[in-house]
Amino acid sequence: MPCSAQRLTRPLGREYECDERGINACRRHAGKSRRRRPRLISPSSFRAIGATPRQHKDTLQPPSAKERAMGTLIAKHYRTTLFAKLADHTYVECGAGGKTWSCWGGSTGGKVLRSGTGSTKRADEIAGAKERAGITCYLVNGVCHQAANRILLPAQITVRGARGYWISSSLYGVYGRESGVLGMCKAPFHKHPDVSGDLDACRDGKRADIDASQPDARELAFLKTSLELTQEAESAATAKSLNASALHDLQVRMFDELMRYRIGEHLVNTKSHDHMLGMRREIEEKHTEIEATFAPNAENVDAFVENNNALAEEFQRRAADLLDDETYVRLFDHPKDEILVVGDPEIARQAYADRPRPPRPRNR
């Protein structure tokens, strides 16, 4: 590990970064006397030795004191009463309740899932004017879960715990799915790492009943890997020589990481693991076929939703055939006999109303 990435911790949670000389000095002092203090390297010392203090803005690391002093981002969810099998809708709210981000659907009446500290200004920039955070096409790039996860990035949390969350994350990834088919359905994830601070609407009247907690180290590692794969997929989707197979590979890799996180390494190198990855790739290829035949307009949007929901059901049934009951529940957080869908027809109709048809895919 480079010396500039080393961290030394003293009581009260204070952390310091040192150059190689400072780290060695700290080690020597630690072995001699409690009264001797680790040598501290100031920001000016960093500049003198040509090193740079590590920045936390665009990485998933425990928040700094400055970040903790910002706002509170709250993941919320509610269950629709119109479709019994539909996954929960999720959206994001700031701690004071003065600002919400709808994430393709409603933004009131939900229950708290999780909360965390982070810049509400940055969350607002990530959300964008439409509050969809770059999840451009509904059921192509993702659903409300992926949009909410992007907006929650400053707080380093997700909408984990929402009904159907692990199904949508298996199909679209934690932070969304890139598309190489529909020319209008790119999913750029603009993270705005240089934005900080709290929105005026989120600054006053912070709710005392919200316990802002952070994910554990294992979840942070999983989210970091998910971010890296999402960035890799975005780069692949914008490359001049686009290869649909490469995008399929990345989605399968995302699912593999999700399985390792949810189930554990004991499944790796087993027949079930290999069969699950092969099945997931077939589902991804079918997803691409559905996109290729879809002209996003009001006339065929219901069929588009039905096809995507049928694919989600097929995915769950095939997974149920490959996994035992306990492993299935660990992966998806619901039993085999509870088959869920992720596409909301009402949201889809509104999303694709009067939308122009994208260019047809080119043969490659």
List, for residues 127-157, the tens digit of each pLDDT value. 999 999 999 999 999 999 999 999 999 999 9
Ranges 12-16, 95-99, 251-255, most confident: 251-255
Residue 362: which pLDDT band, with cuts at 50, 70 and 90?
very low
Please state, for a pLDDT cut of 70, what percent of the chain lies above it.
71
Distance CA 131, CA 116 (A): 19
Residue 62 has pLDDT above 90, yes or no: no
18-22, 62-66, 238-242: range with lowest mean pLDDT: 18-22
Angle between helices 325-332 and 301-322 in degrees, nearest 10: 140
pLDDT digits (tens, 9 = 90+) for 249-285: 999 999 999 999 999 888 877 889 999 999 999 999 9
Residue 176 has pLDDT above 90, yes or no: yes
- pTM for this prediction: 0.78
Mean pLDDT across the chain, nearest whole number? 80
Residue 166: which pLDDT band, with cuts at 50, 70 and 90?
very high
Q: Are 195 and 121 in contact (CB under 8 A)?
A: yes
Q: Are 120 and 199 in contact (CB under 8 A)?
A: yes
How far from 187 is each of 23, 139, 245, CA to CA, in Å?
A: 42, 12, 18
Q: What are phi and psi of 48, to 5 degrees?
A: -65, -35
Please state, for a pLDDT cut of 90, what percent of the chain lies above it.
58
HSE-CB of 202 using CA atoms within 13 angstroms? 24
Compute the average pLDDT of residues 86-106. Answer: 93
Compute the average pLDDT of residues 58-84. Answer: 72
pLDDT digits (tens, 9 = 90+) for 281-317: 999 999 999 988 886 565 789 999 999 999 999 999 9
Percent of residues in the chain assigned helix, strand, coil, to nearest 5: 45, 10, 45
Residue 38 has pLDDT above 60, yes or no: no
Residue 24: which pLDDT band, with cuts at 50, 70 and 90?
very low
The pLDDT of residue 243? 73
Which of 60, 229, 210, 198 is closest to 124 using CA atoms?
A: 198
Distance CA 283, CA 172 (A): 11
Q: What are phi and psi of 73, to 5 degrees?
A: -110, 130
pLDDT digits (tens, 9 = 90+) for 182-207: 567 889 999 999 999 999 999 865 55
Residue 225: which pLDDT band, with cuts at 50, 70 and 90?
very high
The pLDDT of residue 235? 85
Distance CA 118, CA 69 (A): 8
Find tokens 């020319």 and name the residue: 183
The pLDDT of residue 63? 54
The pLDDT of residue 324? 93
Distance CA 342, CA 36 (A): 58
